[in-house]
Structure 1
Amino acid sequence: MSPVTHQPVVGLSLPRSLLLPGIESEVGDRVDATLPVESSEWIDTLAQPINDRAYRVFGSGQDWISCAESAPKCHSAIAAVGMADSSTLQQHPLFADLSAEQLTRLTQTSRSRHYPAGQAVLLEHDWSDGYYLITAGVAKVAIASSGGAEVIVGLLGAGELFGELRALGFESRTADVTALTPLQVIHLQSMPLAQALQVEPQLGLRLAQGLARRLLETNRRFVYRSEDATARIVEALDCLAQKAALPQLTSAWQPVPAINVSILGSLAGMARETASRELSALEKRGLLDRMSDPWQLSVQTLIRYGLRAAVNP
């Protein structure tokens, strides 16, 4: 296939060594990727992991391939990009003790991004920079087992950070992070945070507290892995509900985002078939409604399995 000849908006050449798995290419040592964005945004866009949501390289036997024709589709698949709202950072506990100058430095290098459900945000071992603050939605954190299977190790919701280990000296990403529901995040550069950590002890303390909370959640989920299948699926539903924080219309029912049963099964540490069977059993007992959107889970079920405290009448 001959290369397309559309005039690129922004063009840059990428060494083959920088192309992550998911790029399909039989071309030479470099490819010419074209980005349909303003010149001031191309570096910000390239901060995204380049994988199945980025650039498909077309053609064979050509040393240089222009992706101008496919670029608009590629960019929309990456994320919608815009300037971050500084007030969101000001209101977050992590940044409460930063000076106006430090906060300005953070805001100037930040971007607001929107990802559709199922879209990868970070890849394990990725080289991209920066960290993320979730402002809406739920993301899953996963690592690959030795056999290549995805193991979901946790969920993240609004107000939580991920990728912050980069600012603490980790050279590559330690896990995949994927949008489980439509996801809104603020992407921030690592350097301003690393600099602020040198002069603001409270910032380091709050960062450690956030990591500790995540560890406690992982410990709780690990304990539930020894329970029966029903308890594990209820705990997984509760974890999803807590991270989504959807408005509760009645005290008797907990709203839960509707997600793929395979993902829910992975979160609960069971096969898809087992998860489907447990969900159906809860429905038959009138404890779960999957016909509504979002799903509705009986609060009494959460109390029974120790996930909620009983409220005295």
Structure 2
Amino acid sequence: MRNGTTVQEFILEGFPAIQHLGKILFLVHLLAYLASIAGNAVIVTITCADSRLHTPMYFFLSIFSFLECGVVSAVIPKLLVIFLLDRKIISFLACFIQAFVFLFLGAAGFLLIAVMSLDRYVAICKPLHYTTIMNPKTCFLLVTACFTLAFPLISGMVIKVSQLSFCGPHVIPHFFCDVGPLIHLSCSDSRSAEMLAFALALVILLTSLIITIIAYSNIVVTIVRLPSAREKQKAFSTCSSHLIVLSLMYGSCVFIYVKPKQRNRLDSNREAALVNTVVTPLLNPVIYTLRNKQVHQALRETISNLPLMFLLQSSDFI
């Protein structure tokens, strides 16, 4: 922190207009949080446990579900405390740690979405070369690249914002620490930090979006050329769930971050952020599993084998 920084803690405003419904909102968000964690954890567990799901698509999906668990865990617990106990204070250090974790996992998630789009492109447009191109080593390197690219970009931005002077006020008009509201609170010249945040959002979101659009444009062209209606339906069904998820994520994040003036529309950002931190992580496991027969079968077999596994463990213990 610079010498000009006198603020040692911030106050998260949350949703003051509906704070009187705190206990009801606490229950609603708690259930959504638990359902999101449980759903994404099931995807990770099933993917690891069932050998039939040891494919690139489910490998990327399990990493994406893991990232979603991290994103909601970085934000929602503090929101639950605000709703239930009305404790809105967060320390300077904790605030920037929360901002870093949320942005780092979010950026890695968007890069991973681009990788998942490329995986679907290779699977549908280059089916004969799919196993050769998307081998385990390539999949691991692609996931590693997502984290490796996201870490220095987000670290540099968060460090730059943390070095701004904060002299007061210290009320963040949001329900978690995000770079836009933090830049808005700075009492020093924050134009360079604001432009850096805009540039990084533009690079990460639009690069991922462009790769996804190009991949799915080629997929659509390939599917239209398929001779069989059944083959077309099968190909579209494998991509439709991915398209629903990424439309929700891109829509909310482009609205929040891809604008040069972070000072504008801070109030409306809260509602858009709820989509990204509550709704999308909750819908991801539902969208990806309800339309997937392989996951259905793996879940049924796992559930049916639970009593047998329990009996075997009990007999070993005895």
Alignment TM-score, normalising by the size of structure 1: 0.25
Per chain length, whose mean CA-contact separation is higher, i.e. which structure has more relative contact order (CA < 8 Å, sep 6+)? 2
| Structure with higher helix content | 2
| Structure with higher strand content | 1
Alignment TM-score, normalising by the size of structure 2: 0.24
